[in-house]
């Protein structure tokens, strides 16, 4: 299933992950399998700590971000590996930190292998260490909108095997693993930590039967199982049964869905999955949140011109939340949130040397259980970027990111970030 793993809040970081873009008549065809680059940026952030206070602190800073990449291809196999490091230095120490700097790491691996025309293997892994909520997510939705200081870890690995038994029928079986480990621990029921509320391992297994309805259309009937195991081992809330611990949020979830993958043209494709899910919070004696709910995923990709691409998608599902919503006089606590996410991205070649991008996302989440049951939060993200390539090895960029959280539980904020920088690559 397609996921939007790049996020608008990371537009500034994401730009450094890309090698210099080829320009007809200016850039020679790639003759080496590897690339190396370094980016230097200056930036301003008017709400680094994602504070809802009117007296929120702002920062100026400098970022240095080297990156390396490698790719190898044969008629049957394609492998790509990339690593990006980012060092940000602030003009003063942000609240909640002991140092005036932050470091992030991002490692990505992708492998595709065709054993034959009917047998394929797809494998990938994404490992990050960072602080920003959109950098630490593994899918479209975010479990928290707050920036969290420290060396927080997220790893997302996936493997899928595709088998086409006949001209009309095939299957895809896959496994995904998402691992989260936040640095901030030692919380309590009154003040739960990020580790206590968000540390977890999510296992997801899916089996899709694929039916070729037309040469350009594949129908899908599928099943998916997800198991979330919270590993924080901390007290995170109270209810009338006493203390609530991280593992009380554990759940198992079953999905059944129908779908279609359709190619309208070589440059226009779409995928959709619509179905139902059943969730069981098996460590919660109250049965809080157990039951059926809807599931949906829609994704459209249009490559409308050379180096120009538009993507639009919608997802609806259950996901984790940093809100616990416990009350010693209540019968439940917040187990998760039900979210709808709409995302879009546009990358456009304005001239042979100039490229622009717009990335946006809207997330609407409703809390399940606890004193915040039924309350919602709406998050808006927008990223704008312009990149100008002077020659095959040097480019410049300027960009702006806007984040806004509209919260019914009293933690609304907005955040503006601007940056300008240069990238040298070889």
d(CA 257, CA 414): 37
- pLDDT for the residue 18: 32
Q: How confident is the model at residue 421, as a pLDDT?
A: 98
Cα–Cα nearest to 403, from 412, 394, 390, 392: 412
Whole-structure pTM value? 0.90
User: Looking at residue 48, what is its pLDDT?
Assistant: 93
Give 121-148 pLDDT, tens digit per residue.
Answer: 999 999 999 999 999 999 899 999 999 9
Let me know the angle formed at the C-alpha of 44 by 41 and 49, rounded to the nearest 5 degrees. Answer: 120
Residue 101 DSSP class = E
**How far is residue 95's CA from residue 191's CA, in Å, rounded to a whole number?**
17
Residue 169's pLDDT band (boundaries 50, 70, 90)? very high
Instruction: Tell me the β-bridge partners of 45.
Output: 59, 417
How far from 2 is each of 74, 159, 276, 296, CA to CA, in Å?
A: 25, 14, 18, 12
On whether the CB atoms of residues 255 and 295 are closer than 8 A, the answer is yes
pLDDT digits (tens, 9 = 90+) for 387-404: 999 999 999 999 999 999
Q: What is the mean pLDDT of the chain?
A: 91
- Tell me how far apart the alpha carbons of residues 30 and 15 are, in angstroms, rounded to a whole number: 19
Tokens representing 248? 């009380």
- All domains in the chain, ordered by first residue: 8-425 (2.40.160)
**Close Cβ partners of 82 (under 8 Å, ≥ 6 residues apart):** 17, 67, 68, 69, 70, 106, 107, 108
Q: Are 43 and 61 in contact (CB under 8 A)?
A: yes
Reported as a single tens digit per residue, the pLDDT across 186-238 is: 999 999 999 999 999 999 999 999 999 999 999 999 999 999 999 999 999 98
pLDDT band at 292 (very low <50, low <70, confident <90, very high): very high
Give the HSE-up count for residue 63: Cα atoms under 13 Å, Cβ half-sphere: 27
- Is the pLDDT reported for residue 9 higher than 60? no
Q: How confident is the model at residue 31 (pLDDT cuts 50, 70, 90)?
A: low
301, pLDDT greater than 70: yes
The closest of 162, 71, 159 to 114, measured between CA atoms, is 162
H helix or E strand, kind and range, residue 34: strand 34-45
The token duo for 337 is 């949130």
**pLDDT band at 29; cut points 50, 70, 90:** very low
By CB atoms closer than 10 A (0-12, 13-18, 19+), residue 382 is middle
């Amino acid at each position: 299933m397609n996921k939007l793993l790049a996020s608008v809040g990371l537009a500034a970081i994401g730009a450094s992950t890309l090698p210099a873009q080829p320009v007809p008549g200016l850039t020679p065809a790639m003759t080496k399998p590897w690339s190396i680059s370094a980016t230097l940026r200056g930036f301003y952030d008017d709400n680094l700590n994602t504070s809802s206070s009117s007296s929120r602190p702002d920062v100026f800073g400098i970022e240095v971000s080297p990156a390396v990449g490698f790719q190898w291809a044969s008629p049957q196999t394609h492998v790509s590996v990339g690593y990006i490091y980012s060092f940000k230095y602030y003009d003063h120490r942000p609240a909640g930190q002991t140092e005036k700097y932050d470091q992030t790491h991002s490692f990505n691996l992708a492998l595709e292998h065709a054993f034959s025309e009917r047998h394929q293997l797809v494998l990938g892994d994404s490992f990050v260490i960072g602080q920003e909520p959109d950098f630490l997510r593994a899918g479209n939705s975010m479990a928290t909108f707050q920036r969290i200081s420290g060396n927080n870890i997220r790893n997302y690995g996936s493997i899928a095997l595709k088998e086409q038994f006949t001209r009309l029928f095939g299957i895809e079986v896959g496994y995904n693993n998402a691992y989260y480990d936040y640095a901030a621990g030692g919380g309590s029921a009154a003040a739960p930590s990020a580790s206590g509320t968000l540390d977890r391992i999510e296992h997801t297994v899916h089996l899709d039967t694929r039916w070729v309805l037309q040469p350009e259309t594949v129908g899908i009937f599928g099943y998916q199982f997800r198991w979330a195991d919270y590993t924080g081992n901390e007290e995170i809330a109270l209810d009338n049964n006493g203390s609530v611990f991280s593992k009380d949020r554990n759940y198992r979830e079953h999905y059944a869905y129908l779908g279609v993958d359709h190619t309208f043209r070589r440059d226009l494709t779409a995928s959709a999955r619509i179905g139902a899910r059943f969730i069981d919070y098996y460590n919660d004696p109250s049965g809080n949140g157990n039951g059926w709910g809807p599931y949906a995923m829609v994704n459209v990709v249009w490559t409308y011109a050379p180096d120009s691409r538009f993507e639009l998608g919608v997802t609806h599902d259950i996901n984790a939340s940093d809100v616990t919503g416990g009350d010693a006089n209540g019968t439940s606590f917040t187990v998760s949130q039900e979210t709808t996410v709409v995302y879009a991205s546009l990358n456009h070649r304005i001239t042979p040397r100039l490229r622009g991008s717009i990335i946006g996302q809207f997330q609407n989440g409703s809390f399940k259980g606890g004193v915040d049951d039924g309350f919602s939060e709406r998050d808006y993200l927008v990223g704008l970027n312009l990149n100008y390539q002077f020659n095959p090895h040097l480019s410049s960029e300027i960009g702006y990111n806007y984040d806004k959280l509209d919260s019914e539980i009293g933690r609304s904020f907005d955040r503006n970030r601007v940056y300008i920088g240069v990238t040298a690559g070889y």
